Amino acid sequence: MAEEPLVIKKKKEKSFKDIVMEKLPDGGNLNACLTCGTCAAGCPATGLHGMDPRKIVRMAALGMDEELKQTPWAWMCSMCTRCVHACPMNVNIPQLIFNMRASWPRDQRPRGILRSCDAALSTDTCSAMGTREEDFEFIVNDVLEVIREQPGFEDMQAPIDKEGAYFFLNQNSREPVNEPEELGPLWKILHMVGADWTYGSKGWAAENYCMFLADDDAWKHITEMSIRKAEELGCKVFLNTE
């Protein structure tokens, strides 16, 4: 009796769904989708490029990874997680979106997000505008000087690298460059309530475009830069303004 030939099959690559289910507790409930459409009803990106969150989940469940890799809808999602909160089964759709983004060659990802991420990596301030430490300090002091001319704010402070401050404050990186007058209102609130706060000369930028770019290493670098500076100054609370 002839023996059956031994056939060695090529191991199938992990799908988006497999990767997500390995990363998330209880598999992120990805097998629990009821296709009810609640996620699509609450998603602001529903309909763009003929796509919505429910379709994304079903395509992942059916193993349509190549189609998922090609749809630009991955970049329409704001990662707001509204779909997760709306979903009766708590399906983690944003993690699927993140893996879809990460599958794109880095140089083919949206230019605006890519450039902002690279600008943040170019300086220790982590500013998406590439603002250097000395430029940020100049802008803060210039705005502070103007505000101190207003009644009731003559002694207001806008400290940078104040050791032992209770709050470590960050700031949208576009405001110091494009709308420096927008810095003042928050400072005034903090002044009026007597808050003990400081900016850091490093890691003061509030947004993290590298997260939206799905660049894990860059995302981690920027986050660690901010946390490291807050800990170095001995701050108790990280006050995120974004």
Q: pTM of this prediction? A: 0.81
SS3 per residue for the chain: CCCCCCCCCCCCCCCHHHHHHHHCHHHHHHHHCCCCCHHHHHCCCCCHHHCCHHHHHHHHHCCCHHHHHHCHHHHCCCCCCHHHHHCCCCCCHHHHHHHHHHCCCHHHCCHHHHHHHHHHHCCCCCCCCCCCHHHHHHHHHHHHHHHCCCCCCCCCCCCECCCCCCEEECECCHHHHHCHHHHHHHHHHHHHCCCCEEECCCCCECCCHHHHCCCHHHHHHHHHHHHHHHHHHCCCEEECCC
Band (6; pLDDT cuts 50, 70, 90)? very low
pLDDT digits (tens, 9 = 90+) for 65-107: 888 888 999 999 988 899 988 888 888 888 889 989 998 999 9
CATH code assigned to 16-104: 1.10.1060.10
Domain ranges in the chain? 16-104, 111-239
